[in-house]
Structure 1
């Protein structure tokens, strides 16, 4: 059985010498996040800050910041169980006593999943209730000067459908604290809580929302997972935990609360006055343990702390993608490419037409559809080897028939999200069947006007850099013409601000390209229309330069860097 609450996990980290306790006074505004970022970059220990300015609560960060830590937290049992479920699906559906007997061990394990109600006296989360200024004592962790305020960064946002109460959502949606009783929620309007909010808005009602902080690590994992329509989020948490999830009724009414949570916020999100307005939670009360610990995470690009947790969950859920879409053998989203970045699927060996049908099924699946670029190949390859996946596609794709760009109808993020140059769009690149070209691996085609850096990323994919977007927005247009004029052998060219930095690692490539990429605006190629079908011609150029309106990379201010430099040895005194 897994760890029953976050403090059990912290204690295990202490025993494993994977925890650094910082007793020195630390300011949650900029100082604490900078300490965290430095430790995460070195794959250092989890951190427990016991003396945080402005709050009575200790703050724990980097709890899942390495692959070793994630494996230790959850083990192999959940993955083995889901593989068994996927393998037994044909046997158990439809259920019958003889078939269930054949899979009796699996059935027994599945019967252990779900929730169990516990008495209020056995729920530590009900230790303290605060209804006046309920957010005032929470640690105001602020990562950057330009962040817009403090955030709750590991919130488990729980909502229920008002039209079908048996449906629920548990998601990791950041909350920006506005004042002592309100917080802005960053959720996807087209999934889970966002859909339930739309339902409530249509009825002119506020949506009841609960936010849990802490609890079993399995609960945090379930909230981080991609939505799985066939597997309710609390059931997934129970499956990862290895036992029924203990829940307690809120004495003041409303949603039940995980009994082992550290904090539980209860409130309402009223209808918005305009589509571009962010949803705002009006917090009515907060429950917390008498000795609550506040878990948090801090953004670290390109590979954040939760990278390992998200990838674990993808690996955990990968056996069941084939059940949802039989033609999909494997599916992966690349965490380092940012929210809604790059996804890849290995599909059954098929014609391009059948592969396109599979792509449409993926794009139509709310759980799988949230990436700007979807690569499809029929050639097996490890998703951890992006160059191999990309080469499989580039060897096979026909630009006239295998590249599809879908405009502003794409449903990737929030209508209220700022920092986008234009409406969301998506693209699909198919590469199935036999190889049709040999990919170049070294560049020997001469000087490209306006380009000062040319570096291959992998076979067939070239990274180049020249003037910035603000200096020369038309550079990709001329680049396409130049490459076509010299009959370039490179099918894909990525225009970046700094090619050498972009190709340095797989993580840097994913982050640099796909956080600055909107397909409908940033894909350049010659094209023609035949039989109402838009067909492209090689090469394809992607403009992945930083553009006006895109969120700039954040950097710590000099005063924060100096402060942390001065105090570094004091933080880690034994």
Structure 2
């Protein structure tokens, strides 16, 4: 069931013992972030700060801090359910005749209910402030060397002036004054392309920033959707019903009608850029100050019972680990449409999304792993993946210790490493140039004879029937013991990997 407000989601969390109300006064400058950081790192509860020392609204943090809460945010028990639903939709073949079209109607009918619904206004406009003051909001300063307070969980809405297509992105926003925000639009982001288009036309750019509402709206703003796919349509899929949208008061855009708070304004594309940052980022390091466009705020609207949502990013693990895990599971079916040999993928938290990705695959011919690397580096935001490790399908890439062991055991450095130059994440401080550097692929699969492999040994695996009997015995001997995550049975991918008779090994 979809949530009608952030408060409704908080009520569910509180009813399940997943929310703690912080009744003591806490400062949005450094203090809230420090408390939320501890809660996130220990798998602790969501926090509702009822008495911020600055700003009039309560502040909600660590909303997505566990798999359970992130799944509930998607109105399901586990977000793998949404991944399976997406997989089923993607497998639906284009109808070839009347009978196929008729069979498809139930699915098409359901999809029709997930499209955004348009309204003149909504609860997000119960209070309209035409003389806005950003200083009245409890905007957090999360790290001591931050350039100022930053909005960290926004849904930034823009439109392409040529096509009219909407984009909703999650871009941090630095408060520069009572009516001014710095827009952190990175080089490769869609909002940056919109900005360039408005600048080429000599027009100012309308922007709306929504906060809160159904938590799927917040997640959808962070999702790496293919170009042209509307984020609020995707949110409708996740929440099981279309997102109601309301017309903004001062800009020609629409925002979720049930959002908690909306900031409206324009970017003067002819104006000089403003200095933004530094900011303690999701990499765990400060991203350095740089120049970005400024938003002049024209209006702030909100619900009467508005809650201000925020997050802290920094050294992992923090709350965004679970947003990243949800993205990993939801976008695996899409990746498999392009690369059907992919079995699974994992982004370990230590890789902060773009630094490390594990892929398991069904290897079918010599060089297949290296072909997959190059293909993935050419696919959307996977282009920013700095380290890509490819395994055979018997490796559980969700088990980081197992994957590390298999990689260290299977790799010959000279043969199995691929280094390429190309675009990298704009936040990658290690690259020698801004947003451009090198990436490494590691072929950790079994090597076939054609790839220079010798006779390849099998990993040590207990017989499954023995494991079943001894697991049952262990459970009797050690009541309450946690289940052991076991390695999959190794199955040779093809006969050709066995050394040819008479080969010199």
**TM-score normalized by the length of structure 1:** 0.69
CA distance in 1 between partners of 2:192 and 2:160 (Å): 10
Counterpart residue number, 1:128: 127
CA distance in 1 between partners of 2:204 and 2:328 (Å): 33
Contact 2:68–2:78, Cα closer than 8 Å, also in 1: no
After superposition, the C-alpha distances for 1:442-470 in whole angstroms (9 at most, x for unaligned) are: xxxxxxxxxxxxxxxxx9xxxxxxxxxxx
Deviates more, 1:293-302 or 1:82-91: 82-91
- Equivalence map 1:323-334=2 (5 Å): 323-334=337-348
* 2:413 aligned with 1:412: no
* 2:380 aligned with 1:363: no
CA distance in 1 between partners of 2:5 and 2:216 (Å): 9
Report deviation, 1:82.
4.7
SS in 1 for 2:384: coil
After superposition, the C-alpha distances for 1:144-181 in whole angstroms (9 at most, x for unaligned) are: 22111111111111222222213x22222111111112
Report deviation, 1:139.
0.7
Counterpart residue number, 1:139: 138
Report deviation, 1:305.
1.2
SS in 2 for 1:11: helix
Find 1:262's aligned residue among 241, 255, 260.
260
Report deviation, 1:68.
2.0
Query: How many pairs does the alignment contain?
Result: 435
After superposition, the C-alpha distances for 1:337-386 in whole angstroms (9 at most, x for unaligned) are: 22521112223313453433332221122232222111223334333212
Find 1:337's aligned residue among 322, 342, 351.
351
* 2:11 aligned with 1:11: yes
**Contiguous gaps of at least 5 residues in structure 1:** 441-458, 460-574
**Contiguous gaps of at least 5 residues in structure 2:** 275-289, 461-505
SS in 1 for 2:331: helix
CA distance in 2 between partners of 1:10 and 1:332 (Å): 29
Counterpart residue number, 2:227: 229
* 2:425 aligned with 1:428: no
* 2:381 aligned with 1:383: no
SS in 1 for 2:136: coil
Counterpart residue number, 2:24: 24
SS in 1 for 2:382: coil
CA distance in 1 between partners of 2:78 and 2:13 (Å): 20
- Equivalence map 1:506-517=2 (5 Å): none
- Equivalence map 1:9-408=2 (5 Å): 9-74=9-74, 75-76=76-77, 79-80=80-81, 82-87=83-88, 89=90, 91-94=92-95, 96-120=97-121, 123-166=122-165, 168-229=166-227, 231-271=229-269, 277-407=291-421
Report deviation, 1:115.
0.4
Contact 1:125–1:259, Cα closer than 8 Å, also in 2: yes
CA distance in 1 between partners of 2:109 and 2:34 (Å): 47
Deviates more, 1:253-262 or 1:92-101: 92-101
SS in 2 for 1:261: coil
Deviates more, 1:134-143 or 1:83-92: 83-92
Q: Cα 1:259–1:38, aligned 2, differ >3 Å: closer, same or farther?
A: same
Contact 2:344–2:361, Cα closer than 8 Å, also in 1: yes
Deviates more, 1:198-207 or 1:216-225: 198-207
Deviates more, 1:306-315 or 1:91-100: 91-100
Contact 1:46–1:62, Cα closer than 8 Å, also in 2: yes
CA distance in 1 between partners of 2:101 and 2:412 (Å): 47
Report deviation, 1:279.
3.1
Report deviation, 1:313.
2.9
Contact 2:216–2:235, Cα closer than 8 Å, also in 1: yes
Deviates more, 1:371-380 or 1:287-296: 371-380
Contact 2:360–2:397, Cα closer than 8 Å, also in 1: no
CA distance in 1 between partners of 2:238 and 2:91 (Å): 23
Contact 1:66–1:305, Cα closer than 8 Å, also in 2: yes
Q: Cα 1:258–1:393, aligned 2, differ >3 Å: closer, same or farther?
A: same
CA distance in 2 between partners of 1:274 and 1:405 (Å): 35
CA distance in 2 between partners of 1:209 and 1:50 (Å): 29
CA distance in 1 between partners of 2:229 and 2:394 (Å): 27
Contact 1:78–1:239, Cα closer than 8 Å, also in 2: no
Q: Cα 1:85–1:57, aligned 2, differ >3 Å: closer, same or farther?
A: closer
Contact 1:212–1:261, Cα closer than 8 Å, also in 2: yes
CA distance in 2 between partners of 1:101 and 1:7 (Å): 41
Counterpart residue number, 2:479: none
Counterpart residue number, 2:469: none
Deviates more, 1:275-284 or 1:125-134: 275-284
CA distance in 2 between partners of 1:437 and 1:69 (Å): 48
CA distance in 2 between partners of 1:140 and 1:230 (Å): 31
Report deviation, 1:237.
0.4
After superposition, the C-alpha distances for 1:458-491 in whole angstroms (9 at most, x for unaligned) are: x9xxxxxxxxxxxxxxxxxxxxxxxxxxxxxxxx
Report deviation, 1:421.
5.7
CA distance in 2 between partners of 1:283 and 1:390 (Å): 49
SS in 2 for 1:55: coil
CA distance in 1 between partners of 2:302 and 2:251 (Å): 16
Contact 2:385–2:424, Cα closer than 8 Å, also in 1: no
